[in-house]
Structure 1
């Protein structure tokens, strides 16, 4: 057993796949399999449950992950301390809704590159529940998700509050005009989308349970279909004003309980912050530097 074994172990856990872990670690799959088997023999317990579709941490694997993260973080801190080098290095995986990445992604990348040029950032776009699950399973170091979050395993702090609006074709006169359309047509993202959930809740509150849905997998696709008069949707107001102000769409304010959304940044409680993750979090909260 050596330190590289733990890095391979973390790669398998993060990627959920032995082949992808081998590629990420610049080795072959047989070596990854052998190193994981070696760890399982060393600790006397299976670390992953394997199926034809996915590889996931067992309870023993979850426990070892905590110690593996602590060990690797301590090694990085030791290198900085002994080498008297204040340069923060490392890679972090951050998740967010697609709209958050579109709006704030470039700004975050530039801020991180300016203040911590040796930290590599990987962004991943997922639905809210998937983001939470991937932080809990160590596949993401942190994620931006809509509040509320009530999970004891997660730390969180507020990032921003934004307005959600109904986005309709430019010839639409009002929300009542939208609801009067027969058949009522909406443009939505896949199941699990927070904007889709709010749209569904709003329609149910209006006594509407039957309507035609068209699913899209991109913001651009949703806007194109709305502009073409096919239907309407819910999106952040800032997305429209920033990127689509010249398009033939119109926005309408929503009731406060549906129209305001708070985003929080979440990360795991049970492991110390790596230097790279601490650097990223400090972009939003300078108090993190003292953790």
Structure 2
């Protein structure tokens, strides 16, 4: 068994067939089939259950799969490390909360593109839970998520702080009366959204549980639903400044313990930090340094 065996095995398992794997690996199907048969013979186990529709993993194949995936990642990182001469270049894929992208990233991304024109920066948005999972799965080199985050495989850098606010329809001026409404509903993004979790925790501490939820896919849809009186939500106060001043929603301040939230940059502890990633890290850390004179750990 060698590294190429495991790379081929992972490709067949991921794509579900020898022919599909051969096309991705730019070879012929007979080469893939022969390599997999030699691998099975060498291990003394059957890795695939073959059928006309393709190939699926056996129990032995399932046990081997994590190692094959790890080998593929290590080979890719080794190639990138060898080619990385210290000048940021290539593709950098990072993630961000949608709110952070809207509030904070535009000037940072513009500065990054200006300073490092040889880097192709790819930004993916999602919820905190989704982004952390993608970093752990090595689909993202790093992600800006709601903190704090505690995971043995991750390192974090605190980069921003936001003040959250409770948002309601313009007619609702009293938080106490608002929360006492029997038809109160919360308007949130999908499960895994950190602000959704914080809103539910905030209400639970006040004895309000079991509320109906309305889920929307975008921040604009959430703000529109709140403005229409369909329910309440929790978002960074700075994000809704123009909306608030336009009178579309009422913004209710919260105690500091409920309002203050960190945005942190998370990365895998064992992942290669490319020159492009180091430059991005230094940029967001430098942003924080210029604001309060300190650098996140």
Query: Shorter-chain TM-score category?
Result: 0.7 to 0.9
> TM-score, structure 1 length as denominator?
0.76
Q: Which residue of structure 1 lines up, in the alignment, with residue 81 of structure 2?
A: 74
- Tell me which stretches of 4 or more aligned residues in structure 1 moved more than 4 Å: 16-19, 32-41, 43-46
Structure 1 residues 160 and 127, CA, compared in 2 at 3 Å: closer, same or farther?
same
Q: Is the 8 A contact 2:186 2:213 kept in 1?
A: yes
CA distance in 1, matches of 2:175, 2:70: 52
CA distance in 2, matches of 1:224, 1:102: 17
Structure 1 residues 33 and 62, CA, compared in 2 at 3 Å: closer, same or farther?
farther
Q: Which residue of structure 1 lines up, in the alignment, with residue 141 of structure 2?
A: 141
CA distance in 1, matches of 2:23, 2:102: 35
Deviation digits for residues 173-197 of structure 1 (CA, Å, limit 9, x no counterpart): 1211211223112211111111111
Q: Which residue of structure 2 lines up, in the alignment, with residue 266 of structure 1?
A: 266
Instruction: List aligned pairs for 1:43-82, cutoff 5 A.
Output: 58-65=65-72, 67-77=74-84, 80=85
Please, which moves more after superposition, 251-260 or 116-125?
A: 251-260
Structure 1 residues 31 and 97, CA, compared in 2 at 3 Å: closer, same or farther?
same
CA distance in 2, matches of 1:269, 1:229: 45
Structure 1 residues 251 and 33, CA, compared in 2 at 3 Å: closer, same or farther?
farther
CA distance in 2, matches of 1:18, 1:72: 23
Q: Which residue of structure 1 lines up, in the alignment, with residue 198 of structure 2?
A: 198
Deviation at 1:29, TM superposition (A): 3.6
Considering only CA atoms, is the larger Rg found in Structure 1 or Structure 2?
A: 2
Deviation digits for residues 56-90 of structure 1 (CA, Å, limit 9, x no counterpart): x933135324532441232222xx3xxxxx74211
Q: What is the root-mean-square deviation of aligned Cα atoms in Å?
A: 3.8
Deviation at 1:147, TM superposition (A): 1.4
Deviation at 1:243, TM superposition (A): 5.9
> TM-score, structure 2 length as denominator?
0.75
Q: Is the 8 A contact 1:143 1:266 kept in 2?
A: yes
Q: Which residue of structure 2 lines up, in the alignment, with residue 31 of structure 1?
A: 26
Instruction: List aligned pairs for 1:93-112, cutoff 5 A.
Output: 93-112=93-112
Instruction: List aligned pairs for 1:165-204, cutoff 5 A.
Output: 165-204=165-204
Q: Is the 8 A contact 2:87 2:276 kept in 1?
A: no
CA distance in 2, matches of 1:140, 1:243: 32
Structure 1 residues 50 and 31, CA, compared in 2 at 3 Å: closer, same or farther?
farther
Q: Is the 8 A contact 1:90 1:275 kept in 2?
A: no
Q: Which residue of structure 2 lines up, in the alignment, with residue 92 of structure 1?
A: 92
Q: Is the 8 A contact 1:94 1:124 kept in 2?
A: yes
Deviation digits for residues 36-56 of structure 1 (CA, Å, limit 9, x no counterpart): 886995x9798xx968xxx9x
Deviation digits for residues 93-126 of structure 1 (CA, Å, limit 9, x no counterpart): 1111111112223223201111101111111111
Q: Is the 8 A contact 2:165 2:234 kept in 1?
A: yes
1:253 lines up with 2:260 in the alignment = no
- Aligned pairs, how many? 263
Deviation at 1:238, TM superposition (A): 1.2
Instruction: Structure 2 unaligned segments of length 5 or more: list them.
Output: 17-21, 48-54, 290-297
Deviation at 1:136, TM superposition (A): 0.9
CA distance in 1, matches of 2:26, 2:279: 33
Q: Is the 8 A contact 2:87 2:275 kept in 1?
A: no
Deviation digits for residues 124-168 of structure 1 (CA, Å, limit 9, x no counterpart): 111111211111111111011111222221121111111111011
Deviation at 1:230, TM superposition (A): 1.5
Q: Is the 8 A contact 1:89 1:118 kept in 2?
A: yes
